[in-house]
Each structure stands twice: as C-alpha cells, then as structure tokens.
A and B are shown apart, each in its own frame.
Chain A
Amino acid sequence: MKRSGVTQLALMLSPVVVTLLFATLILLAAGANPLEAFGNILAGAFGSAKKWGDIAVVMVPLALCAAGMLVTFAAGLWNIGVEGQIVAGALAATWVALGVQGPPWLILPLTLLAGAAGGAVLGVVIGALRTWGRVNEIFAGLGMNFVMVALTNYLIFGPWRPPDGATMSGTEPFPLAARMPMIGSSRASLVSIGLAVAALFIVYFLLRDTHWGLRLKAIGLNSAAAARMGINTHREMIVAFVVCGLMAGIAGSLQTTAVYFRLIPQVSGGYGYLSQLVVLLSGLRAVAVPLIVFFFGAVQVGSPRLELRMQLDSSLGGILQASMVLFFFLIKGWRQRLADRKERNA
C-alpha cells in the first residue's frame, strides 16, 4: 500500500511522540517540570560546540557494537555478552598501553589489535558455550559480563593500581604514546570515527553481498535446515560471535586509548546493552543505525545535566532510550494487527 511521504514520516516518528508522552508522565509523577527536563537534555547535548565532540565520543562505541551485533542477530543470536567483549578489549588494550614501550605508530595499532583479540577471544568462549555446552548465549554472555567486570575491578585495585594507591578513578593515566590523537581541542578522535564508520560499511557489505552473510541469515531463520544444506552452523555461529567481538573489542580499546586514557571500573559504560537497543530499534537494518546512534548519543550526553540542574537521576536518558524501543515494538505490532484485521474483512 503506497503511503505519502508525510504519513510515512509520521509513522516513523510515532514511537518518539509516545516516548515523550510517557516520559512526561514519569516526570510529572516525580514532581518535575517536563519541559524543563527535556530542555536541559537538549542543552546538555547541543549547548556548545564542544558537545558535538562528546556526542561523537559516545556514538563510536555504539556504532561499533551495533555493527557487530547486526552480524550476530543475522544468525539469530542474542549476543548480550557484547558488554563483556567491550571490557575484554579494554583490558587487552590497557595491558599493551601500560606494558609496552614504543612510539605511537607502534603502540596505538597494537592496542587496537589487542582490543580486537580480547573481544574475539570472549566471542569464542561464548560461542563454544552455546554450540557445545548448550548454554543459551544470553546466560553465557551475562555470566561473562559479570566476570569481566569483576576482573576489571580486581586489576584496577590490584596489579594495575597506580603507585600512590588504588582509587575508583582507575589505573594510572596512559603514557602519551598510548593516546589516540584528538581532533583539535574536542574529545573526538578521527581514528575512532573512521573505525566506526568503516565497521558499519563492512557489516552492511558482509550481510548483503557475501556467501557468509547469506549463510548466517539461513542459520538465523532455520538452523536445522541450514545444517542439512551443508552449512557448518557451529563454526559460523562462533565466527559471528568473533566478528562481533572484534568490533566490540576495538570499541573497548578506544574507550581506554581515546576517551579515558586509562582503565576505569565502568569502562564499558553500559554501551553493550545500549547498542542492543540500537540494533532492535533499527529493525536489523544497517542503514538505520547511524541516525539512531546519533539520537541515543545525544541523550547520553545531555542527561547528566539533569543531575546538575534539577536533582534528577540521569537515568531519565535510559528511560527515553529504552521506552523508544518498547513503543517501537508495540506500535509496530498494533499496526500489523490492524492490517491483519483489514485483510481478513476484505
């Protein structure tokens, strides 16, 4: 059924509208002024030129992980362990940054490689648990997430603590050679942005135009028949986890070498879980990811202002992001229901 451009736009935006209504209700219930709250978020996100850099900083890990998860979702897998893969990448990169001496052109690529490897190794673990251990990847991933977080804390308060004592700020700051160059005075790094964009393009190409991508789709739709058709489902699933791990691991390494310049306890920042929301909202379409990542990034950057200005918890940002996805699904289902009913009465 052909729809006018305006109607299509309205339909796409309906989850946004409902989300705002929902958030308004919550804010009113909490005794806060909704308009003021939204205004603060916007101001927090776009208030100054510097903020654009901050948004880019948030968009990078989101985009990398979303790209990786498009791959795992294609194979029908719920890679909740991506959060742990980010941490694994961060740990590996930190190990290089703190342990290896050398010029930047050696160290920095090494941190990226280490990060990718870290994420990939975790991908193998989760994949093996899923294929041979029959452990649902949701639980395998979650288990690994918590283990990785514990490992991070151990390292920060133990072997990698700064010489003058362990603190919640994390490890010692990285030497200059292990820091990614920034764009001007902003916090954004060209390398990070380039890698994120490349990841999205690569994944788009992989899924649409390669044999491997088609095999993944087959596995995601009917793994039993795919196996009968000669596809090595176990191997391809593990490879999918590894590919996602490569990208998530790179995101993790960038968090240490391009954002915080050290290893901090919350190095993954919940980006793993957040990128799941991004992918769900995109309807598994790579083309929709950049816009969604931008929106989510803006909300992430703007929300802390609520704590400063209004004594509200910044989790309002998370509420906006998650309810957007929820209403996207609910509205999609409702529209499908109406369409089915119309077809039946025809």
Chain B
Amino acid sequence: MKIELVNIHKRYGAVVANEGVNLTIAAGEIRGLLGENGAGKTTLMRILSGYTFADAGRILLDGVEHHPSSPADAIRVGVGMLHQDPMDVPQLSVLDNFGLGQSGGLYRRRRPMLASLEHLCQRFGFKLDPEAVVGSLTVGERQQLELARLLALGARTIILDEPTTGISAPQKALLFDALKHLAQEGLSVVFVSHKLDEVQSLCDSVTVLRKGRNVGELEAPFDADGLVHLMFGQQLPAGARPVVPIDGGALEVRQLSVRDHRLSLDGVDLHVRRGEVLGLAGLEGSGQQLLMQAIAGIVRPRAGSILLGTEDLAGRPYGAFRDRGVALVPAARLEEGMIPGLSLREHFALCHHCGHGLVLDWPAADSLTREQIAAFHIVGQPLTAVDKLSGGNQQRALLALLPAELTVLLLEHPTRGLDVSSAQWIWSNLLARRERGTALIFTSTDLDELLQYSDRIMVFSGGRVSAPVDAPTVTVQELGYLIGGRGL
C-alpha cells in the first residue's frame, strides 16, 4: 500500500510534536523512521494508525484520502501498528487475543480461529501455543502474536514502534525475515527506531525526524555518520571514561537464590569493589531486576548471603539495607520512585527529615530543595508537583533525593526515555559518585551504554548469569552472543 502523509501538524498544548511533516512510502518498501527521543516519530505513527488525530494535514492511502478515527478504523483500511508494549490483554490466552476484535457471530468458533493462527505462524516460523496465557509470553512472542493478528485482519501496512527492545537475537532475526517477506508481497513497512545498525540492516530507505520536522531522507546503503548528523545535527563526542583507582570491596553476594512468580535465579556469586561500575546486560525479564531488588533488600532471597563489609544482610528488613547505604533507583519513576501529587519540597522533606522530632520545618525544606534544584539543574520549583516534571528532570530529582554518600547504588535503566544530553548529564553525576567510592550497578538494554560506562558486565539470560566480563576488552558481537544465551 502506498502511504502519503501530507503536511501533518500536531501539538500537545505548547509542545510541538509534528510540524509540517511530509512522508511518502511506496508499496513494498521498508522505510526506517529515525530520530532521537521526542523527535515526533511515535506521534506521527499514532496519527497514521488512528490512535490520535492530526491538528492539520492529510493522509492518503493508495491515493485515497482517509481519516482513521480509531485504531480499529485504521486496520479496516489496512493500517496496523505494533506497539513497543503490544496492545494485548495479558490475562487472556493467545487464541483469545488473536480473535478478540474480529467480527463474527455470538459463539466463538475455535477451529477456524486456530487454523488461521496456525497458518500465519507457519508462514513466518512463529511458535505460539494457542492456550498459553499471554502474560506468560516473552515480549518477542507477544509481538509475533500481534503481527499475526494484524495480518489476519488484512493489514497492508505494518508500523513497528521500537520493536527490538527486549527481544532475543533469534526473535529479531525471525521478525526481520517476516518483514522482508511481507515487503516482497507488496505491504509497506515502517520501522521506527533509534538504532542505527538495525535500520542499516533492514530498511530500503530512511526518513529522519528532528524536533518534529522531516529533516532528510536517505536510500540504502546508508552512511552512519550522515544519519547521525541528520539526527543530532552534530557529531556526538564520546564521553571519556576516567580511570578511577578501585580499591576495597563494597559488596559481596554468595550463592544467592531469588525467585518470583515467573523466574528463578540461583547460585549467583558476585563481588563488587568500591568505585566499580557493574553493568547488567540481557533481555528484560531475564533476572537483572530481580537480582538488583534482592541486593537492595526489596525482595527477600530464598538462599545465599548479601555481604556489606562483614555483615550479611540477606533476610533483613528493607530498612537495614537503606541504613547501610544501599539504594535503588527504579525505572518506573512515578510508580515506584516518587509520589505523584506531592511537590519537590515535600519529597525532600520526607527524605531528609527537615525539622526536629514531630514538627516539619518548611523553610528548611524549602531552602534545601532550592539548593538541590540548583545542584542538579532541575527545571522546576520547590512547589512543582513531581508528576509535572519531564522525564529527565524526574530522573535528576530521583538522584537528588538520594543520600549524598552511598555504599551501593543500583539503577534500573538510568537513561531510559531521556535525550542524549540529559543522559550524559546523569552519567556525569553517577561517575562523580563513583569517584567518592560508591559502587554502581545498573541495567540497560543499550549495549553502547553498557560498554561505555561499565568496568565489568554480567549477562543475564533466562535466569542464568554469566561470569563478569571485562568491558574494555569485550566486543559487541561477543556481548550479543552472550545475551542470546550462548556461552552461559
């Protein structure tokens, strides 16, 4: 299907998401849509797929003008979107999710549905158990299901939004093969990403968005530097990593066993020194978060010890961990890290106990907040509610709320959703802590980030953990293999 987006405008209040964007995609083409966070890629695709409306502009599909009023409307005219977090119902089965939304009579006829699902799975080499509860599937499998569903509904355009975050290498290969096949059959594919290498390997052409505008289009083969230049406007200097003398042990983990309802992690051994940065790599849900939560005292381990100095904290209550300088910064900032509805000042008052005994000292809290706002370059006022801050500022606030000196700082995806300059600022702050002796442990799905900042990297795959590898000497390919499960 040929897609033409003509002069699309969209704002959210004062924020311009798309400004006069023109985009044309031919049938059978795989188009990459590149841009940094906030460039407008997702908004543009949500408009095309009926999730939201453009303020101005036109959409033409095969030359006919359309105004998809909802996602269901869009799929009816052949446009389907695969979200980063697929829009499925985790509590229902694979087959139920496949059939949900398809029209038909009162009774759900299983056999035709099963046959249809089977057929599509075979076509692309997907392996899906129709009775499995979707909540138990991996992200890659949920994507496959969603893709099958959209195709069953007659999609002739598939939009994929950052599909490769959190899926395994084999799943990625399967997905790319499927997309290439679909393109050969005349479907058009839009591949929204910020990952240059994937775009290079998959796409026929690329459109780059920056600050809501279409700033350039290139055909394969692509020049990586050229793409980066279009995306960011200048070459990014790679952050230099200072060599910090690492001395003394900060944390030791022996034979740790942790379990949650989906995963179990057994026999983990770990030794982290003061000032060391340990990166945890692997697909999401492979155990990194579980391990970090155990080290932070949020989850109780089933066996093993967690030693800070000579003290074994395993099994102790959460407060004991906090008292000894262990802190975790969660990825879900507003759900787990801060209290939406309370102001910055109230957060500092809570964390730093301003005032004596029972009574709060508001002026003291106020001045402390102002100090921290300045020190951490937070765009906000003491009375600003934290849910009104941008993602980057929320992350800065989370870091500002931490005690000044920590033994071990654990971070879940510290720069997720942040633009490049915010991410760099966060890291400079973290590295400053490291120079004061704090051990850092962080998870990330960005291999570049892992390689750039870690001293050592441990790879997680399905509950198994690799021995730590030295970051300066490992290559991206080796890491990729480890993440794929080989060599563990």
Contact = CB atoms under 8 A, between A and B. Distances in A.
A295 to B, nearest CB: 29
B115 to A, nearest CB: 43
A176 interface: no
B330 interface: yes
Contacts of A232: 319
Interface in A202-237: 209-212, 214-215, 217-218, 221-222, 224-232
B353 interface: yes
Most interface-central of A209, A212, A221, A225 (chain B CB within 10 A): A225
B336 A224 contact: yes
Nearest to B357: A211
A209 B359 contact: yes
B222 interface: no
B318 interface: yes
Contacts of B349: 211, 214
Contacts of A228: 298, 328, 330, 336-337
A222 B339 contact: yes
Interface residues of A, number: 19
Nearest to A224: B336
A227 B317 CA distance: 12
Contact of A214 (B319, B322, B341, B350): B350
B355 interface: yes
B318 A230 contact: yes
Nearest to B349: A214
Interface in B316-339: 318-319, 322, 328, 330, 334-339
Contacts of A212: 358
Contacts of B350: 211, 214-215, 218, 229, 231
B137 to A, nearest CB: 25
B360 A229 contact: no
B363 to A, nearest CB: 12
Contacts of B351: 229-230
| B337, B339, B342, B358 — most chain A CB neighbours (10 Å) | B339
The CB with the most chain B CB atoms within 10 A, among A214, A215, A232, is that of: A214
Contact of A221 (B322, B330, B337, B342): B342
Contacts of B339: 218, 221-222, 225-226, 229
A144 to B, nearest CB: 29
B319 A230 contact: yes
A217 B360 CA distance: 14
Q: Is the interface on chain B under 10, 10 to 19, 20 to 34, or 35 or more residues? A: 20 to 34
B346 interface: yes
Contacts of B248: none
B318 A225 contact: no
B340 interface: yes
A230 B318 CA distance: 8
A221 B340 contact: yes
A81 B350 CA distance: 29
Contacts of B362: 209
Given A214-B349, A230-B319, A230-B322, A225 B338 contact: yes
A210 B360 contact: yes
A31 B420 CA distance: 73
Contacts of B328: 228
Contacts of B298: 228
Interface in A4-57: none
Contacts of A217: 342, 346
Given A221-B342, A230-B318, A211 B335 contact: no
A257 to B, nearest CB: 31
Nearest to A205: B359
A226 B336 CA distance: 8
Given A211-B353, A214-B349, A227-B318, A221 B360 contact: no
B338 to A, nearest CB: 6
30 contacts: A209-B359, A210-B359, A211-B350, A211-B353, A211-B355, A211-B359, A211-B360, A214-B349, A218-B339, A218-B342, A218-B350, A222-B335, A222-B341, A224-B335, A225-B334, A225-B337, A225-B339, A227-B318, A228-B298, A228-B330, A228-B337, A229-B339, A229-B350, A229-B351, A229-B401, A230-B319, A230-B322, A230-B351, A231-B350, A232-B319
The 4 closest A-B pairs by CB, nearest first: A221-B341, A222-B339, A221-B339, A218-B339
Interface of B: 298, 318-319, 322, 328, 330, 334-342, 346, 349-351, 353, 355, 358-360, 362, 401
Given A224-B336, A228-B298, 8 more contacts: A209-B362, A214-B349, A217-B342, A218-B346, A221-B341, A222-B334, A225-B334, A231-B350
